[in-house]
Homo-oligomer: A and B are copies of this chain.
Amino acid sequence: MTRPMRVLGIDPGLTRMGMGVVEGSVGRPLTLVDVNVLRTSSQLPVAERLVSIEIGIDAWLDEHRPDAVAVERVFARSDSSTIMGTAQASAIALVCAARRGLPVALHTPSEVKAAVSGNGRADKAQVGAMVTRILRLDAPPKPADAADALALAITHIWRGGAQSRLDAAVAAARSRA
């Protein structure tokens, strides 16, 4: 069994930034530690919105002391008007974690959907339902950004766990060689 870890999942966005902290290890029930959505007003200049986001993430890193941070990987898509803001918000999440020396992982939306629901094309309702079940909640976290942040943290623990087991197996095989 892998050592329990605490992960902060971040679903980046300039208007709504989902943040969810989950604790646990592979093969054991996971626990919701905290979940929140950070909002910034579109009336404010982008630079000020980014400073608000930085303050919010730093406060959560101080409060929850995660072992790792998992951020949704953002792709350039011409069909999205919010993609630049999402990329900018993700940069703040990455830099807040990395300057503390925390491990940072990027997971794509399909990796997250596949990890929590077994289907890389699951819709928001399915992801919300699986997060509810995995964390034994009474109702799906709202808004969707909150559920997505928790799904990122769950994905990271499960993928990290698999990687840890692989590392352990390799180390064991080497020690026998």
Please tell me how many copies of the chain the complex holds. 2
Residues facing B in A39-76 (CB within 8 A) are: 45-48, 50-51, 54, 74-76
How far, in Å, is A53 (CB) from chain B's closest CB? 8
- Quick check: which of A18-26, A88-96, A143-151 contacts chain B, the rest being far away? A88-96
Query: In the bound complex, what is the Cα–Cα distance between A74 and B54 (angstroms)?
Result: 20
- Please judge, given known A-B contacts A75-B84, A76-B80, A76-B83, whether A48 and B98 are in contact too, CB under 8 Å: yes
Q: What are 17 A-B pairs with beta-carbon distances under 8 A?
A: A45-B98, A46-B106, A47-B95, A47-B97, A47-B104, A48-B98, A50-B98, A54-B99, A76-B81, A76-B83, A78-B78, A83-B84, A83-B87, A87-B91, A88-B91, A89-B91, A91-B92
